[in-house]
Structure formats: C-alpha cells, structure tokens
Structure 1
Amino acid sequence: MLRFDAEPRAWAEPDEDATATINYTSGTTARPKGVQMTHRNLWVNAVTFGMHMQVSDRDVYLHTLPMFHCNGWGLPYTMAGLGARQVVLRKVDGAEILRRVDQHGVTVMAGAPAVWNAVLEAAADWDGEIPGRDRVRIIVAGAPPPSKTIARVEAELGWEFNQIYGLTETAPLLTINRPRAEYDELEPEERAKKLSRAGVPALGVRLETSESGEVLAQSNVVLAGYWENPDASAEALEGGWFHTGDGGSIDDGGYVTISDRKKDVIITGGENVSSIEVEDAVFSHPAVAEVAVIGVPDDKWGEMVTALVVVAEGETVTADDIVTHCRGRIAGYKIPKRVEFRDELARTATGKIQKFKLRESFWEDSERKVN
C-alpha cells in the first residue's frame, strides 16, 4: 500500500548503478517497454549535455520538451545543476513560445521538428522583430529534420540549430551536431545539409554499424535493461552493444547519418527505400506542411512507396504535383507511387509520427507486416 504521508529517508547505501527511473518508450513502432535508467546513466548524460551545449547560469531554458519524455532528455538535470533559470510551458504553442522567448529572455529550448514547425508558422504572424535572434539555440531530435526546416530556422528566426541523436534507452545523448566554425561561410542550403546529419559521438560514446547497417552503441548512458523483461533486455544488449534499431552510416569524419528505423525501410521492387529521404523530397514542396512516407502492400512491387501529406493552410496541391516535384530530387523508384492527403498525422505526446498507426489501415488484412 502506498503512503503519501511518510517522511523521506536517507539512502543507506548509495549505489550509482541502482535504478533511478523507469521511463517507457514512446511506442512509435511497438508496445512500450520500461527502460531502467541508473543514477550513473542520468548523471553522465546531464554532464556531457551541459558540456556540449555550453550551458551556464546565464542561460534561460524554456521547457518546450515534455519532462516525462526521457526525463526531458536529461536537460532539467543539466539546467538545475548549472544554475540556469527554467521556464515551464503548459503545452506546445508556436505563438506562446515566441511570447515567452520575448518575455523571459530564453536562450535554450529542445524538441522534435514538429515544435519548430509550429514556431515557424507563428513567426509569420508575429508583429515586429522575431525575439531571440542571435541568442536562442535550439536542440532538435526525435526525427531527422528536413533540411528545409533547418534553413528556415536560421533564416527566418535567426536561432542556432543543433541536432542530437539518441533514444530513451540511452538517456538519450549519443551524438551531437553543432554549427561548426567552418560552416560559417557556407551557403544556407549547404550548411543545412551538414546540420541534417545526426552528428558525431558525444563524449564517452562509441558507435559502430552492424553488417546489416544497424547503429550500435556503447556508453555509460546505455540502459541497465528493460523492467521485468529479460528477453528484450538480452536482445537489445546482445554482444555488449546496445542495438538501436536504427539504420545508418558513419562517414570518415565520424559523422553519423540515420537513414531510417529498420522497420521503416520500404522494400519496393527489391530495392530498399529510406522513408526519410523521400519525406525530405516531398516536404521541400512549399505547399506541404507535414508528410509521412510508408510502405503499403502491393502485388506488383511488394511494397508501394506511399506519401501521406498534410497541406499547408491556404495552399492547394495535387498528387501529380507532389510526384512531379520529386522527379530529379530522388531516384525514380523512390518517388511515391501513391499520395494521400490527410487532415493530420498520428503522433505521440512528444510529437513523433506514429508510423505503425498510419500503416494499420493498409495492412489490417495482411498476416505479415512486410510484403
């Protein structure tokens, strides 16, 4: 029986490897699992995050990222430990974010690409100069952002774009991609392309790719295991590496590029297609507000590349327009063979698109989820 009137007791035998929190995965591809984070996991993540983002007591952090999601990426610990002021936002609202940046002198925020798309939309109606120009730095993760979004953040908001990559199972920081000095002289589009990569390993992180192209990680931020799920724990930590479930590559400079969730790779006509690459091409159309690309069953192709599109307010576009726009931007076999328009896309509470839900209606009559 739980008691809420009991006094807290001192920890008799502190243990950095003891479980500190159990965080549940957001369930973008499967049933959520309880991720056991140790005190060491959380401390190392908070410290390295603060070092990479150069946080100090002069910073003002706006909570545009839910604190329940992977402990707010550990940033509440970072900010509290270094004495930064923290401002809490009840819900994500682009206009309200701009108002709080203006009112409180915000310097740091974090969130998925959907958050910054909301801010960009609100900025179009903002009266006067956009607040925080040349002061705010944002940290983006949750999904590889389209290069168009990155360029717009820099050009229209004047905010610094930083990308990280990680998972609930890694506390989450695995990689960091910050605007480097050598990027300063690049054209905006070229700089955006470089910032669209996941980045280089964070301090204390070792990354490799498996023979199948899966990104593997070793670090003091890797989970102890899944709560009361030894089979899933053994599978995820096989061979002493954490298996991320993400497909990717590592270039000669150590930069990681995430190509897709393994389950989001579309196999059409025997060719592998990264949904992320196709989404980037579709999203570059000015009339597209949101897009998710999935594979749906098809007798001829095995899986048909299908784009689910939300049209920007006040814009009109046809399926043929989308297909024509993609020609010349991606290979012919990657161009969507089917385009459907939706009012909205299924998302988690943290803004991630839930592709397994988007697939359900297409695959409900199929025994297997691949064709």
Structure 2
Amino acid sequence: MHVPLIVTDFLDRAVTLYGDKVAVIDDHKSITYRELNERVNQLSYGLGSLGVQKGDKVAYLAPNTLEMLEGFYGVFQLGAVMVPLNIRLQPHDYTFILNHSESKILFVDQELVHLIEPIISDLTSVEKILVHHCTNENKEFTDYDAWLSRYSKTEYPRATIDEEDVASLLYTSGTTGNPKGVMLTHRNNYLHALTTMHHLRVSDRDILLHILPMFHVNGWGSPFYYTANGATQVMLRKALPELVFEKIQKYGVTIAHMAPTVLNSLLEYHKQFQPKIEEKMRVVIAGSAPPPAFVGRVEEDLGWEFIQVYGMTEISPLVTTSQIRSEYLDLPKEDQYRLKAKAGYAMIGCKVKVINDDGEEVAKNGKEIGEIVTRSNGVMKGYWKNDEATMDTIRNGWLHTGDMATVDERGYIDIVDRKKDVIISGGENISSIEVEGVLYEHPAILEAAVVSIPHEKWGEVPHAVIVVREGHLVSGDEIIAFCREKLAHFKAPKSVSFTEELPKTASGKIQKVHIRKEFWKTDRLVN
C-alpha cells in the first residue's frame, strides 16, 4: 500500500515519541511537543473558521518564533499552502508577493507591523491580518493570542492531501524584475528532510538554534527534520553575536545553520570577548566558498565542526555536502580544510553535475568551469503562475542553477561564482569568490565583496568593496598590492572602495547586485 509523504507526519512522530520533551524555547515561553501540537490544532481550527480551505495561501511575516514554527503544521493540516515572507523587504515588495500568491490570511509579528500598515489598502486577496503579540490599536489587526485561545486543542480533522500537493510557496528575491514564487510539494519537503537529516546526523539529542530565518527555504528545512527527530528548537529573533553565544551557552546548543557572514561575526566576537564554549557544535554553512583558513578558525578556535552545504530555493534546497569522506581522513589538516570549504559532493537521492555549454560534464581537474545542474526529489514543481521561467530553469529534466563551478579530481564541486557574478575582463573569466578568498587573508579586512565595474579597455574589471576591521588602517593601494602577490595580476582588483557595512539579505548573504548597480548606473569608466 502506498503511503503518501505528507510533512504533518513529522510532528505526529514527535508527539508520539517525545510528547513530554521540550520542543520549543522562545524568549517568552518554553513548550513541549504535546503542547506545540495543541497550539497547532487551535491554529487549524481558527483558520478553518476563517474559511481557509485546501489550496488556499496563508502568509507569514515573522522572525524565528514559536508562532512561525507552529504556522507550518497548522496550515498544512488544512491542505493549505504556507507563504513565508522575507522580513527584509520593502512594503511594495509585500504588495506584489501577497497579491501574486493570492494569500487569503496574513500573520504578522508585532515588530514588523510597520511594513504592512502602508499597503493594507493595496492588498487584493488578504481577508484578515492577525498579529503575534499585538500591541497595535489598528482595527485592521486581530490579536493572535486572544484569537487562538478561542479554539479547541483537540485533534483536527485533516484535509485529504496528496504528496504532490503544494505545501509551501517561497518567493526568491528578485535581482531583476519581480520575485518568483517557488512551489515546493509535500513530497519535495519530505524527501529533502530524510536526505538532509542523514547527512547532518540529526537526532533527538540535538538542540537546534534557529539562526537562519525560517522563511529562508524554511530555514533549510529545519521545521521538518528537527521536528521529526524530536530535537529541541531554540528560537532567535536577531542574529547578533552576543545573543547567539548567550543561547548556545544557556541551552547547550549542538547545531545551527547560518550564512558565512554570520559565522564571520561570531569569529570576530569570539576573538574579542572569548566567550566560554563547552558544547562541540556543528555549524552548517551555505553560500560562497570560504577560504580554508576560515574553516580552520572555526574548527580550531571555536572547536566546532564546519559543514559546508550547497543548494537553492528551487531544490528544497540542499543537494551537496562537503564533509570529509573516510578515504580522505588521513589528509593533512590544511587539505581537509580546503575540501570542507567546497560545495562538495551529491547527497543521497540527488544527482548533481557540472556541465559546459555543450551539455557535457567538465573535466575533473579543478580548472574547467561549467554550470551546476541537478535532478532530485527536491526539485520544485515550478514557479507559481510563471510557466516561461519554469521551462527556462528546468530543461530536459535537469534544473539549471545558474551557479558556475569546477570539479576536482576527488569529485568535490567548487563554486566559482553565480553566472551573473563572473567577471569577464578582456576575455578572461575571473571568479569574484576567488578574489574575495584572498582578501579575507588580509589581517585588516573584516568583510569584502568583489564586483565588476565598467572599464574602457577591458570591458569590465574587478573592484573590491571593503569593510575594515576595527583598529586597523589600510589603503586601497596596499590591498591591490596584497592581491597581486597572491593572484594573477588580471584577477587582482583594479580599484578599492571602503564602506562601514555591506548590503545583506535577511539570511546574511551579501547582495552584490546592489553594490554593482552603483557602479553601472553611471557613465564613468575606470581607465
């Protein structure tokens, strides 16, 4: 008999096996898995009373909180679709996403209400707005806690759901044009959870700190596979280094997912304040490849295990991991760090290739560059109401990621850049990630981003935007000279600018598109 793969199974399992165990620790409360399930039932009954039916969209604008986590399961019991919203957008972005997704109900955290207030009259499908921890007098808003308390905690009669039904609709940040809504099914989320929990060694002994925002591809699936394993989940509203260390110490955190920039801020904070670390934690990182020395600092200075992974919203999201395979455990530490810094090799259930323009796999020499393509059970159903973009992304059964990479002789994939971030200077391809890796070796550099800028002779050349470490002084000429010692001269930045802060997404990813825009919107050329 075929049993459909529905993600509500995960909470059911946790309640059965870990009902009395602490499920969630939030700033204002701590609850067990049984209590979490009761709140989920109340939410489902409440949504039903508002007319929410199978297939309806329910949007959430909230940081990592208990209310955000219970939203997934409360929405799913009705066969409705969860639409988590990026908390760092502008009001007009929410107008587009809420209207495009046809969201019927919107849940908002009190601290984010100001992002919704200006656009209420522009929303075409939203029928009700409920506010978590509401202190607002606006008659448009309903207080969530008071509303939730009116409904039964008893088992909710679930809708009949097929594993190919859409569970979540996640909008990718649009670098050009409007964001696209990625449809992930119950099957996508379920099989991704099974694959990922294996590779990350998730168990009921884990205590997860939710650093990566849950709207960000569902925090890399964390509401699913940590729940399925009965792990305790500690909420974090803002990824401030002092708060992260405080919660790690207080609750004995064993694992956390975060962006490289957040991990870098933790390294800096640790270097300055030396907070006590007792737990050997696993840190799961996705994003541009860090320098091997960065991996070394995490493992030696913090005593944490560094796990680099790779994925994107359209693939649920993870398909590779860089953990050292057994045959390479005898390699020198430096070589191991180099491997750990790469995107790595395919997870179970995923096929991943790097192909050239002719569709052939690149040579395993660490030099030939191609595009990463993948097939897996995690590949999205498609973009909501955008067949053209779906067909452009999924071709001949393979999803084209737009990420450019090499493959080394051991089969480890190494991302060199986004297709749009590769700098083509005088016909030569330059990886901005490679240049940034060198910049991070400079003792005065805290953060760096390398982008292309227009050039009269070469078409475009690399430019470095630098955040200088506190207490250090460095000139642009010094930085260029430093890079020229370590790179081919054409790869070294031709110019440098300094800033106090780099623009970042809510997950901590540096937004190069905003940096690049500043240089390309003018007519000035670098000579």
Same fold (TM over 0.5): yes
The residue aligned with 2:311 is: 166
* 1:285 paired residue number: 442
Give TM-score, length-normalised by structure 2: 0.66
Greater mean deviation of Cα atoms: 165-174 or 188-197: 188-197
| Distance change (3 Å), C-alpha of 1:272 and 1:237 | same
Partner of 2:418: 261
Q: Which runs of 5+ in 1 are unaligned?
A: 367-371
Q: Distance in 1 between matches of 2:468 and 2:259?
A: 20
Structure-2 change in CA distance of 1:176 and 1:93 (3 Å): same
Amino acid at match of 2:268: E
1:198-221: CA deviations, max 9, x gaps? Answer: 011011111122323111100000
CA shift digits 1:59-117 (9 cap, x unpaired): 10000110110001002211000011110011001121111111101000001101111
Aligned 8 A contact 1:29 1:355 in 2: no
Change (3 A) 1:252 1:124: closer
Q: 2: CA distance between counterparts of 1:309 and 1:49? A: 35
Provide, for residues 282-340 of structure 1, a one-character-per-residue CA deviation record: whole Å limited to 9, x for no partner. Answer: 11101101111011111111101101111011111111211121123211110111111
Aligned pair partner of 1:83 in 223, 227, 230: 230
1:243 to 380, 400, 425: 400
Q: Counterpart of 2:485 in 1: which secondary structure?
A: coil
Measured in 1, the distance between the counterparts of 2:197 and 2:176 equals 30
What does residue 473 of structure 2 align with?
Answer: 316
Unmatched 5+ stretches in structure 2: 1-45, 52-76, 79-156, 358-369
Give the structure-1-normalised TM-score.
Answer: 0.93
C-alpha distance in 2 between matches for 1:31 and 1:357: 15
**Which segment drifts farther, 119-128 or 201-210?**
119-128
2:196 aligned to 49, 57, 65, which one?
49
1:96 corresponds in structure 2 to 243
Alpha-carbon distance, 1:187 to partner: 4.4
* Partner residue in 2 for 1:208: 353
**One-letter amino acid matched to 1:222:** V
Given that residues 245 and 275 in structure 2 are in contact (C-alpha distance below 8 angstroms), is that contact kept between their aligned partners in structure 1? no
In the alignment, which residue of structure 2 is the partner of 1:307?
464
Q: How far 1:145 moved relative to its partner?
A: 2.1
CA distance in 1, matches of 2:271, 2:485: 30
Alignment partners' CA distance in 2, 1:112 and 1:312: 19
Equivalent residue in structure 1 for 2:285, among 140, 146, 150:
140
User: Equivalents in 1 of 2:315, 2:509: separation in Å?
Assistant: 17
Match of 2:151 in 1: none
**Number of residue pairs matched by the alignment:** 363
- Aligned Cα root-mean-square deviation (Å): 1.9
Residue in structure 2 matching 1:231, options 385, 388, 396: 388
Q: Which runs of 4+ in 1 moved over 6 A?
A: none
The whole-number CA distance in structure 2 between the counterparts of 1:183 and 1:327 is: 32
More RCO (CA 8 Å, sep 6+): 1
2:274 is the alignment partner of 1:117: no
Aligned to 1:369: none
Report how far residue 172 of structure 1 moved: 0.7
Shift of 1:252: 3.9
Q: SS of the residue aligned with 1:221?
A: coil
Moved more, 166-175 or 12-21: 12-21
Q: 1:199 maps to what in 2?
A: 344
Report which stretch shifted further, 9-18 or 77-86: 9-18
- Aligned-partner residue type, residue 69 of structure 1: H
Asked if 1 retains the 8 angstrom alpha-carbon contact of 2:288 and 2:415, the reply is: no
Letter aligned with residue 299 of structure 2: E
Structure 1 match to 2:40: none
